[in-house]
Structure 1
């Protein structure tokens, strides 16, 4: 199979969809890989490293894409790169279906079969392909580092001859993959950590990492998880009770990290201006959902907003601030998925009966087949 990888241009993306390591494995399996010049530079992978691993380097996206069977991407290509995707080829990546429906329907009309890594099923067999989880893990880690950098005090308790420094109090809202990594990272830095989530299973996970669990544990809470492992949308009554509990807890916190996202919907508002105002001067808040509207009132995309002495960090694409590691994990996710859409001889041949393939495909046979992109 011939595979193209473009230089990412959307939202100043720093990641790349292949690494020298995965290129070696792809080439070893008989695939031909063409990489647009400069595609890996932001992730510290020079063209020569790709060439030595077995890829050929093309000067433009159009040259890279000519006659290929598939295109690997981090984000949906745009402009000339989108147009360069050959008719009837496959496109595999984090294509943001809920935001890019029109572009994806245009690809469908050209016979391009689009696979969304966002829709990788949450099943054991697909864990190695789960790009959302691999990237969220790094986002949670980086969120704590950003908070520690912005926080004007130390995270761990320090006992010195001049006196004792109290540990920072870190509150993580949302104990999914990103939240759990944030909890673990904050604990490693010596902070006193608490966390909340609407999923009952999160309580034990938070405790296992040494965090204190904070939630209204009523009957609705006990049923608040989908079969796919995501958090359900909660009732207004529950939200009010949970908001009251959080408001009381947050006034004592030094750092708050929010990670709540509901697929295909705006991010839920977890912290309002009054809650921010109740925190001590010098407190730091990090909003991992800022690209979907934000969990924190006052968060601004790609900025640190200052609100009455508190810093609200709204950086988008935190995995992209660790581009080498993020690219490495993501490229391995794509490498793990590829056998499901190839035949034994390496030709492009999706197994449409496989639940992973059927769960991730957006377009097929010239039509948009997933509800997220149907017109």
Structure 2
């Protein structure tokens, strides 16, 4: 473990990405950072999009700063999305940076981090272990995304989700298929069920059946299993893929709404719903593709747009978690607090590179001990 830096300053950055309303620290987590011995400064207006006014941060023991220059004094900077390369260039040499940074996705960003010798922790790289669950931003934010995607689907659908008995007759419930049974997909199953829909869940991993059914959904079994060894899905043969695709296409003719949630961090989203499948769906059907940010699960998805394909509406919303900024920020901020608590103690920063959560999250690799503390 490296020697600590005493009397550290932690800065909470105001988000500048278009449409981003979340904040990396709430008054609740600021108070806890202060209890760890840190001086916390929050950029003015950083929490407004999530409903946290500046005065609540001051009451929690933080100081409100007016401009980007305030970040330049910080030993540790917290953010949701990565600051711009120009902002990164103003940070203190060797400062620590924590957030969803995706440094490999932007050459200028990666170069700026390297030029300032920042100790960058892209939390999307955090190992998915039991110990890391309380720090897992991908899971916490996916839950909000799955919830919002289902509400968007209900809004776009020209049908009621629940069964209704009216003077004009009985209205059958909408048939909703959730593709993917990760955190977002399971939240989508639960939300669609609460709205009264007839819900099915589909995933290539047969072990997700129990999770889907526990939430009131029905597991869509296409008769092709990708079960492999050690709990991992195996690669399907070409014949198995063709059979699965044909059976899925036939089934989609009966579906009113599809919510696509299948995504793999750092990789393009798998194409599951083809253009031909969309062509076979009923007019008035809706597809909401939560995976749009990484290309989409539907072949026709256009990220950030809602289109009509022969009567089938296909929505590719972006940054869904930001639409639920209050609770998404609360969860994100707690994830961040739990992570930084690994190296912020008693007003000091000290990195233990024997801790796999730090060593496997830092980018590009653990710094040498002599340069570990900002």
- TM score, norm. by length of structure 2: 0.91
Aligned to 2:249: 247
> Is 1:362 matched up with 2:356?
no
More moved, 231-240 vs 142-151 = 231-240
More moved, 137-146 vs 101-110 = 101-110
Supply the distance in 1 between the matched residues of 2:91 and 2:240 (Cα, whole angstroms): 47
Contact kept? 2:41, 2:63, Cα under 8 Å = yes
Contact kept? 2:73, 2:91, Cα under 8 Å = no
Supply the distance in 1 between the matched residues of 2:234 and 2:360 (Cα, whole angstroms): 20
Contact kept? 2:306, 2:316, Cα under 8 Å = yes
Relative to structure 1, the CA distance from residue 284 to residue 124 in structure 2 (aligned partners, 3 Å threshold; closer, same or farther) is same
Supply the distance in 2 between the matched residues of 1:295 and 1:357 (Cα, whole angstroms): 32
Aligned to 1:155: 161
Aligned to 1:199: 205
Relative to structure 1, the CA distance from residue 72 to residue 272 in structure 2 (aligned partners, 3 Å threshold; closer, same or farther) is same
> Is 1:73 matched up with 2:79?
yes
State the Cα RMSD in Å: 2.0
Supply the distance in 2 between the matched residues of 1:224 and 1:287 (Cα, whole angstroms): 29
Aligned to 1:44: 51
Supply the distance in 1 between the matched residues of 2:221 and 2:66 (Cα, whole angstroms): 54
Aligned to 2:14: 7
Supply the distance in 2 between the matched residues of 1:84 and 1:356 (Cα, whole angstroms): 27
Supply the distance in 1 between the matched residues of 2:351 and 2:235 (Cα, whole angstroms): 34
Tell me, what secondary structure is at the counterpart of 2:30?
A: helix
> Is 1:83 matched up with 2:84?
no
More moved, 105-114 vs 118-127 = 105-114
The partner residue of 1:330 within 309, 329, 332 is 332
Alignment of 1:118-129 (within 5 A): 118-129=124-135
Supply the distance in 2 between the matched residues of 1:278 and 1:224 (Cα, whole angstroms): 37
The partner residue of 1:56 within 57, 60, 63 is 63
Contact kept? 2:204, 2:225, Cα under 8 Å = no
Supply the distance in 2 between the matched residues of 1:238 and 1:99 (Cα, whole angstroms): 34
Supply the distance in 1 between the matched residues of 2:107 and 2:263 (Cα, whole angstroms): 19
Aligned to 2:273: 271
Tell me, what secondary structure is at the counterpart of 2:89?
A: helix
Tell me, what secondary structure is at the counterpart of 2:258?
A: strand
**CA shift for structure 1 position 225:** 4.9
Supply the distance in 2 between the matched residues of 1:225 and 1:237 (Cα, whole angstroms): 23
More moved, 78-87 vs 156-165 = 78-87
- TM score, norm. by length of structure 1: 0.91
Aligned to 2:3: none
Supply the distance in 2 between the matched residues of 1:286 and 1:141 (Cα, whole angstroms): 12
| Deviating 4+ runs (over 6 angstroms) | none
Tell me, what secondary structure is at the counterpart of 1:263?
A: coil
Aligned to 2:5: none
Q: After superposition, what is the alpha-carbon deviation per residue over 1:160-219, rounded to whole angstroms, capped at 9, x for unaligned? A: 232101001000000000000000000011100111111232111111112111244546
Contact kept? 2:15, 2:21, Cα under 8 Å = yes
Relative to structure 1, the CA distance from residue 287 to residue 69 in structure 2 (aligned partners, 3 Å threshold; closer, same or farther) is same
Supply the distance in 2 between the matched residues of 1:338 and 1:232 (Cα, whole angstroms): 36
Aligned to 2:371: none
Aligned to 2:4: none
Unmatched segments (≥5 aa) in structure 1: 368-375
Q: After superposition, what is the alpha-carbon deviation per residue over 1:252-304, rounded to whole angstroms, capped at 9, x for unaligned? A: 01100111112222111111122112111111101011111111122222221
Unmatched segments (≥5 aa) in structure 2: 1-7, 369-374
Relative to structure 1, the CA distance from residue 345 to residue 137 in structure 2 (aligned partners, 3 Å threshold; closer, same or farther) is same
The total of aligned residue pairs comes to 361
